[in-house]
Amino acid sequence: MRKISDTITRLAAFRAGPGFQSSGQGCDRLLDLGDFGSNPGALRARIYVPDDLPEAAPLVVVLHGCTQTAAGYDHGSGWSQLADQEGFALLFPEQQRANNPNLCFNWFVPGDTKRNGGEALSIRHMIEAVVVEYGLDRKRIFIIGLSAGGAMTSVMLACYPEVFAGGAIIAGLPYGSAKTIPEAFDRMRGHGMPSERQLQKALRNASPHQGPWPSISVWHGSADQTVASSNADAIIAQWRAIHGLDARSVRSEIVDAHLRRVWCNAQGHELIEDYRIAGMGHGTPLDTTGDAALGAEGPFMLDVGISSTRHIARFWGIAKLCVKRDAKVKPARANSEPLGASFARGFSLPKARVPNVPHSAKRANIQPSQKPNSAAGIRKVIEDALRSAGLMH
């Protein structure tokens, strides 16, 4: 049986080649952020600032998923559309192929997931640079991510809780759940998760912060076969404990035909919300029709009749709730790709650091997307590789 690491290497090399198209490509509305510090994680920084940005506006940090780019995720999710409507700035950290051939944030690599180190510190430096440059409100900084970006959102919320007023994790994993590639695979499949006490300890030990803590929005598809929904349960338990919320003190309601659960403090303030999108696979929930429309459907950007972008911003208090009128509820759906391809897209790879390489030189490793010669051929290669590794039958 071929080792998992060998399979990952072969799949990554294939994906980095000319026959693979990064998902979520579309209109690029973003600008590059220049110098923002030492950048130990060697990430790229992109921003969107509306022309009429008000003084002391909020900031939303958006982390894309594997195989995606910052511009592609913005196009799909509609965050810059909402920023124009509501008046807030956006920061999009972007992974580079020199760090990770699959464009995943390295959410489980110890050097990238600790306070004041690696990719986490690079993102922290970006935030500081944007806040200073545009005079943004330090009390209204929020962060959201999908998949590996969702797991990296967990990292940022754990390592820098004093920075964020709120966070949103879509199809992600809890902080401290994995430190190696085999552990990452197991956690994604819902196997071997540390105990609630261990996860809570990891969160408390990630920073010297003693509170108050950011509010948390969790989104997950019930049919997600890339990241098991038990990860959403673990995230909620991790943050519920640090907020001191009773597991039984939960309110349930139906929003746009989907279940929403909410945990509030003694004052009635909503601190944690949980959306489970029935029948949806791995991706960001969208609503691309009607009065509440945002974004565009694509790979891992799933039009299921509810806009996670708009609802998350409303939860944070930086957007108005747009009531849908005469909108037909769309059935949630699983990702259209077969399990093998979907699972393979979700992994993250550790980076091989190159010492003393200028940041500008590393940017040159970002490869433009190209159309695949045959979607069926790509799926066959991925599935054959997984079968040879014993990960598919």
- Asked if 98 and 18 count as a contact pair (C-beta separation under 8 A), the reply is no
Find the Cα–Cα–Cα–Cα dihedral 343, 47, 97, 341, rounded to 10°: 20
| Residue 267 C-alpha from the chain's centroid | 30
The set of residues, in sequence order, having a beta carbon less than 8 Å from that of 379 and lying 6+ positions away, is 337, 338, 340, 341
- Asked if 73 and 62 count as a contact pair (C-beta separation under 8 A), the reply is yes
CA–CA distance, 104 with 126 (Å, rounded to integer): 18
Find residue 23's DSSP bridge partners: 68
- For 74, the enclosing helix (H) or strand (E) is helix 70-77
- Asked if 86 and 60 count as a contact pair (C-beta separation under 8 A), the reply is no
- For 220, the enclosing helix (H) or strand (E) is strand 215-221
The set of residues, in sequence order, having a beta carbon less than 8 Å from that of 173 and lying 6+ positions away, is 107, 150, 151, 154, 187, 188, 227, 231, 234, 235
Nearest by Cα to 113 from 220, 210, 203: 203
CA-CA distances (angstroms) from residue 230 to 220, 224, 276, 369? 9, 10, 11, 33
CA-CA distances (angstroms) from residue 267 to 140, 245, 271? 20, 12, 11
DSSP symbol at 298: B
Q: Please report how many Cα atoms fall inside a 13 Å half-sphere around the Cα of residue 164, on the Cβ side.
A: 26
Catalytically annotated residues: 147
CA–CA distance, 139 with 59 (Å, rounded to integer): 9
